[in-house]
């Protein structure tokens, strides 16, 4: 394992532990089930007294193996690493971390921020923590439902379940606020505010870059005709749209092929087509 890979794993570890800390310090103690596997685990913790981490692991591991069968090993070892560490970290860290506030509004705000920073760090280093991102990808593979819609349905279902289980519509609303903040902070960590990014790539190795994006990332690439106004020379400009979780992978891929490539990333607020929304 080279230094670069080791550094990525260390940053994934830091991101996962930050996520676990956000759950332990703010969300779980205040019964804020902010969607996803952690939200389900929070409900189970207060209704069946099963530790949060154990429930997360019990849900994530089957999801991981379902993902291998349906999606292949594209999410690989990093996903398994993140899945196991967050499950262990939540339970092992809980007895040693303080609970700074019992105000659900403050807890939802700061919990969303801390968890967002943690997950954003994991995404930035090409890892995942399993959970609903993987579940949504599996749903997308089985049915004609986009990943974004699948995520919304799963998270909304968890929030509604939490409101019923805890007998509090307010806690469900706080959970919704946490989900919104977490998503915004992930975007900031990933250097973007939209759910997708458009990349414009100018390279002396356009063919190699395009082939790599098509084959390794399974994303489309369009070649646009451009002209350098200083040199007067014509050249192709590659256009590709990727999700926020794929930004780091794209940048690393382009840099590996052509370190001198010129890459522009811009926010995309709506994408219609294969791999994104199917229709208006």
Dump the DSSP string for 200-243. Answer: EEE-TTHHHHHHHHHHHS----EEEEEE-TTT--EEEEEEEEEE
Nearest-angstrom CA–CA distance, 39 and 1: 35
CATH 3.30.70.120 in the chain, residues? 196-268
Average pLDDT, the chain: 84
Report residue 41 as tokens: 């685990």
> Could you tell me what percentage of the chain is helix, strand and coil, using 3-state DSSP and rounding each to the nearest 5?
65, 10, 25
* Residue 96: DSSP 8-state: G
User: pLDDT for 120-152, tens place per residue?
Assistant: 888 888 777 777 666 666 666 666 665 556 667
Percent of the chain with pLDDT over 90: 44
Torsion of CA 120, 83, 57, 143, to 10 degrees: 80
Sign of the CA dihedral running 71, 72, 75, 77: positive
pLDDT at 192: 44
Report residue 203 as tokens: 């390279």
Q: Taking the model in full, what pTM does it have?
A: 0.70
**For domain 196-268, which architecture applies?**
2-Layer Sandwich (3.30)
Pairwise pLDDT comparison (159 vs 80), residue with the higher score: 159
Q: Identify whether the C-beta of residue 162 lies closer than 8 Å to the C-beta of residue 46.
A: no
Phi, psi of 198 (to 5 degrees): -100, 130
Pairwise pLDDT comparison (172 vs 73), residue with the higher score: 172
Predicted confidence band of residue 89 (pLDDT cuts 50, 70, 90): very high
User: pLDDT for 30-72, tens place per residue?
Assistant: 999 988 899 999 999 999 999 999 999 998 888 777 766 665 5
pLDDT at 62: 82
Predicted confidence band of residue 76 (pLDDT cuts 50, 70, 90): low
Predicted confidence band of residue 270 (pLDDT cuts 50, 70, 90): low
Report residue 7 as tokens: 């550094």
Q: Identify whether the C-beta of residue 198 lies closer than 8 Å to the C-beta of residue 265.
A: yes
pLDDT at 231: 76
Q: Identify whether the C-beta of residue 225 lies closer than 8 Å to the C-beta of residue 232.
A: no
pLDDT at 71: 57
pLDDT at 280 > cutoff 60: no
pLDDT at 274: 63
């Amino acid at each position: 394992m080279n230094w670069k890979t080791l550094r990525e794993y260390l940053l994934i570890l830091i991101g996962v532990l930050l996520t676990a800390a956000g759950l332990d310090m703010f969300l779980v103690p205040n019964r804020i089930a902010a969607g996803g596997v952690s939200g389900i685990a929070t409900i189970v913790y207060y209704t069946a007294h099963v530790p949060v981490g154990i429930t997360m692991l019990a849900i994530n591991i089957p999801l991981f193996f379902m993902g291998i069968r349906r999606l292949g090993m594209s999410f690989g070892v990093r996903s398994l690493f993140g899945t196991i560490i967050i499950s262990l970290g939540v339970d092992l860290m809980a007895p040693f971390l303080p609970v700074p506030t019992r105000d659900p509004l403050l807890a939802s705000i700061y919990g969303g921020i801390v968890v967002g920073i943690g997950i954003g760090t994991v995404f930035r280093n090409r890892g995942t923590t399993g959970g609903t991102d993987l579940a949504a990808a599996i749903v997308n593979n089985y049915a004609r439902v986009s990943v974004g819609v699948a995520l919304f349905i799963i998270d909304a279902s968890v929030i509604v379940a939490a409101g019923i289980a805890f007998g509090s519509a307010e806690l469900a609303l706080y959970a919704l606020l946490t989900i919104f903040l977490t998503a915004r902070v992930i975007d900031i960590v990933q250097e973007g505010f939209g759910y997708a990014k458009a990349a414009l790539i100018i390279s002396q190795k356009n063919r190699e870059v395009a082939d790599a994006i098509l084959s390794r990332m399974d994303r489309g690439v369009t070649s646009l005709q451009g002209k350098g106004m200083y040199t007067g020379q014509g050249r192709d400009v590659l256009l590709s749209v990727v999700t926020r979780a794929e930004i780091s992978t794209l940048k690393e891929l382009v840099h590996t092929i052509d370190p001198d490539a010129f890459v522009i990333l811009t926010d995309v607020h709506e994408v219609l087509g294969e791999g994104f929304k199917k229709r208006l």
